[in-house]
Amino acid sequence: MDLSSETVHALLPLFLTATLGASVALVGLIDGIAESTASIAKVFSGYLSDRLGRRRPLILVGYALAALSKPLFALAGSAQLVLGARFADRIGKGLRGAPRDALIADVTPAAIRGRAFGLRQSLDTVGAFVGPLLAIALMLLLADNVRAVFWLASIPAAGAVLVVLLWVRDPPQARPAEVRPPLAIAELARLGGAFWGVTGIGVVFTLARFSEAFLILRTHELALPIALAPAVLVAMNLVYALGAYPAGVVADRLPSRHLLLAGIACLIGADLLLAFAGALTTAFAGILLWGLHMALTQGLFAKLVADHAPADLRGSAYGAFNLATGLALLVASLGAGLIWDRFGSGATFLAGAAAAALSAVLLIGLQKPNVTPP
């Protein structure tokens, strides 16, 4: 499914602007709604799979929704239909994500569970690489026929659904006697100031790292051909994949605050390079830094939520954090698009750098032991 989705997403920003005539603000709105929808859906899907006592139905619905959305991209004659397709695709991602991870844990012996999740992440990364590369090859082969590429991207999506239908099974297990909602309002106060401090940093940080669609639009502005636009995601994900595991090793040995500040510094550098780039080489240097900031920070926030939430409320904490950052991503992408349309691409990335700097100030300002990330 990653192969299918990344093939589409690598071309979608330019399809919207060049083919459908959408504004950059609308691109930001569509991408923000889509990605925040996935984050919000994750809050509830894991809870529902626990309540049902089964993972497979939600996994199947999630993959099927994503597969059914793919032909809509090829048929789209308006940005509104693209929004509908992206919404369905990301609802599908949100529905399947938590139950899929829970099923992996259910069927894997504890002694090799880390290895199993490592394999899952590796396969995600393969899709992130191969999808954009496939998009480049198909665009060259099909003479820049974006709609034809979208049709072909439906094939691996259908294959993913077929795998769930034929081979994925729930293990036999007892239905849980009692399930507590993941976001019981009365319990949110128990999460404490330390957790909400981390969430505040996460929200401000998310406001700084708007959708990667703007990276593609920036390189196209610097004359990168549409057929080569997916190279942006290839370059970013290469650094992301190579850096994520070493960053995790370092996070076990150094205070998380140091690594998070390093990631924020990389994001500020990336934004500045992209803001002032006059050539593709400078822009791609910024894109590589963007991938490095992802490697340094994305796993860290999950760790910080666990570190700063009560053990019996970690599920609720992750739900609250995902909800807050998901909504922040919507605001960030819409805001970035509006700034781009009114003031230009440079102002968009300068605003991102300013938001990243603000998140660094907030992080440095959290001095109390019960608030400071370890």
In degrees and rounded to multiples of 5, residue 64 shows phi and psi of -65, -40
Q: Is the pLDDT of residue 177 over 50?
A: no
Q: Which residue has the tokens 């509104």?
A: 80
User: Has domain 1-168 been given CATH number 1.10.3720.10?
Assistant: no
Q: Is-contact 259 268, C-beta < 8 A?
A: no
Q: Which residues, including other chains, have CB under 8 Å from residue 114's CB and lie 6 or more apart? A: none
Mean pLDDT (whole number) for 219-231: 87
Q: Residue 242 — pLDDT band, cuts 50, 70, 90?
A: confident
Closest CA to 353 of 218, 205, 222, 236: 205
Three-state DSSP at 168 gives coil
> Residues 41-60: pLDDT tens digits?
877 776 676 667 778 888 99
Q: State the distance between the two ends of the chain, measured CA to CA, in whole angstroms.
A: 36
Give the angle 234-150-207 at the CA atoms, nearest 5°: 50
Check: CATH 1.20.1250.20 for 187-374? yes
* pLDDT tens digits for range 55-100: 888 899 999 999 999 999 999 999 899 999 988 998 888 888 777 8
Mean per-residue pLDDT, 257-279: 93
* 223: its two tokens: 């004359």
Q: 368 falls in which pLDDT band (50, 70, 90)?
A: very low
For the whole prediction, is pTM greater than 0.85? no
- Which residue, 135, 151, 344, is CA-closest to 225? 135
CA-CA distance, 95 to 43, in Å (whole number)?
A: 9
- Please check whether residue 5 is in contact with residue 89, taking contact to mean a CB–CB distance below 8 angstroms: yes
250's tokens: 């370092």
Could you give the CA distance from residue 86 to residue 70 in angstroms, rounded to a whole number? 9
Mean pLDDT computed over every residue of the chain = 82
pLDDT at position 279 is: 93
pLDDT band with cut points at 50, 70 and 90 for residue 117: low
* Mean pLDDT along residues 251-257: 75
What are the residue ranges of CATH 1.20.1250.20 in the chain?
1-168, 187-374
